[in-house]
Amino acid sequence: MKLHPMLQRQLKKSGVSLEATNNELNLLVKKINKAYIEFDQNAYLRERAMALSSKEMQELYKKLKDENIILAKLNVDLEAKDNLLIKEKKETERQSKYITAILNSVPEEIFILDEKFNIIEANETAEEKIGIKSKEMKNKSISQFFSEKEVVENLNDLIKEDEGKNKVINFQTMMTYQDKKIPVFVSINKLYKKYVGKENQIILVAKNISELKKLEKENKEKLMMLMHAGRLTSLGEMATAIAHELNQPLSVINMNLQTLEMLHKEGIQEFITNQDLTELLSDSIKQVNRADNIIRQMRKFARKNKDLDTKPEPIDIITAIEAALSMFHEQFRVHNIKVETEYSQKCKKVIIDEQELEQVMVNLLANAKYALFAKQDIESSNATNYEMKIRIELSSSDEKGKMILKVSDNGIGMSQKVKEHCFEPFFTTKKVGEGTGLGLSIIYNIIKNANGDIEIESEQNKGTTFTITFICGDKNA
């Protein structure tokens, strides 16, 4: 490094070597230059770093700001959804309480069962009637509270039903109420798992029908009284006809006895042979038996009914029909009423009380006779030749195990209005004093109680046909 001349002289006077000084200065300059270079580099780096940091911070700030906006929106949405869930939860709780209140207010016992027929839940009515809290009933078999196997059998039938079929099974059985057996009407239905959760459930509703059974018993007793009154009424209405029925055999007996008396008084026994006497006595005995049969039939007909709860045994329907016809034999003969019968031999026994079936036939024959007389009055005034006919036809039904009885006449017939009301109690087209209007209503009840059916076909001035369907009592029919 070149020094100033004045500096060189001063250094020389001081005895300092210019070369050494020069070297030291060069070294110092290098150090100073290096320091300045390092300072400039650090300053640049700092400035550059500051510039870069500022940009990244701005970008980061902007990104954070945008994310905050998104988060704020998400927070608003979440709050709205949360409020909606809270609202829905409150509504679900309200509905649950509402449904529970309804179930508890229902007077019938309601049980929710699992697929093994164990109790999941029961309403307050069930708790009250059975005397056990719902919590204590939980997981107990429903069969514990019923005295008959019918409940389990019906539950098994229900559980086998395919999903989607909304089958309801109804039946009557006995339920245990605090050690008492009570008649109940039970209804069961399946609740499918897609609606109620993990597995299918069953809802069982039981209704106490003790009062209904009591009323049914009272109604049956009243019906029995009504049926008996109807038979007595029929006998009263047929009093004249029955007198004719008895008069005919009595007349024959009387004539035979007069003949014997005359033979005895006149002393002409030699004019009658033993064969003639035997025939005379046999005929008298026959007529006595006939009169006895009529009286026995009347007494049987007038007898009070058996208990309607007694299950009827199969009876010979032809015998019952002929027994009813025997009460009309003489009057039909006197009035020239032709009776045609056609009996199928395929099914001769039907399930109905014999006395009740005779009552049905007596009422139908009495109505047919009245219809024939009513038309005869019209035909007589028109001077036409009218033949009165009654036809009784017994045949097997197309439906297996059923028997059909048809009673037809070619009498006055019925209007549409009369057909619609004829089975109603006390409805009658007869004059005052000629009928009570009980006959057909009693017939209707008898047939329905025997699980049968009755229909009417009728046309004014052409005739009427009553078609009755019975349950056949022959096993092979």
| Ordered alpha helix ranges (H), 106-189 | 124-130, 134-137, 150-159
Q: CB–CB of 344/395 below 8 Å? A: yes
Burial status of residue 17 (CB atoms within 10 A of its CB: 0-12, 13-18, 19 or more): exposed
> Domains in the chain, start-ordered, CATH in brackets?
104-208 (3.30.450.20), 230-471 (3.30.565.10)
Whole-number pLDDT of residue 273: 67
Position 388 confidence tier, pLDDT thresholds 50, 70, 90: very high
Q: Is the dihedral of CA 249, 251, 254, 256 positive or negative?
A: negative
Residues 449 and 223: their CA atoms lie apart, in Å, by: 11
**How many angstroms separate the first and last alpha carbons of the chain?**
147
Residues 237 and 319: their CA atoms lie apart, in Å, by: 23
Residue 80, CB half-sphere, CA atoms under 13 Å: how many? 6
Whole-number pLDDT of residue 13: 64
Region of residue 461 (left: phi > 0; alpha: psi -120 to 50; beta: else): left
* Mean pLDDT (whole number) for 247-264: 70
DSSP 412: S
147: pLDDT strictly greater than 80: no
Whole-number pLDDT of residue 407: 94
How does pLDDT run across 323-348, given as a tens digit for each residue? 888 878 877 888 899 999 998 877 67
Position 51 confidence tier, pLDDT thresholds 50, 70, 90: low
Q: CB–CB of 245/282 below 8 Å? A: no
* Mean pLDDT (whole number) for 386-394: 92
Q: What angle do CA 332, 338, 342 make, to 5 degrees?
A: 115
53: pLDDT strictly greater than 60: no
Q: CB–CB of 155/117 below 8 Å? A: yes
Please give the C-alpha separations between residue 43 and each of 31, 34, 39, 50, 380, in angstroms, as whole numbers: 18, 14, 6, 10, 146
For all residues of the chain together, what is the average pLDDT?
76
* Pairing mode of beta strands 168-177, 119-122: unpaired
Residues in the chain: 477
* Pairing mode of beta strands 109-113, 201-208: antiparallel
Residues of the chain by 3-state class (helix, strand, coil), percent to 5: 60, 20, 25
In order, the DSSP letters of 265-311 are HHT-GGGS-HHHHHHHHHHHHHHHHHHHHHHHHHHHHHSPPPPTTSP
Please give the C-alpha separations between residue 335 and each of 331, 344, 370, 391, in angstroms, as whole numbers: 6, 28, 12, 16
Weakest mean pLDDT among 134-138, 379-383, 401-405, 459-463: 379-383
Position 226 confidence tier, pLDDT thresholds 50, 70, 90: low
More confident residue, 288 or 172: 172
* Mean pLDDT (whole number) for 311-327: 83
Q: CB–CB of 450/314 below 8 Å? A: no
pLDDT > 70: percent of the chain: 66
* Pairing mode of beta strands 349-351, 389-396: unpaired
* Mean pLDDT (whole number) for 254-266: 70
* Mean pLDDT (whole number) for 184-197: 78
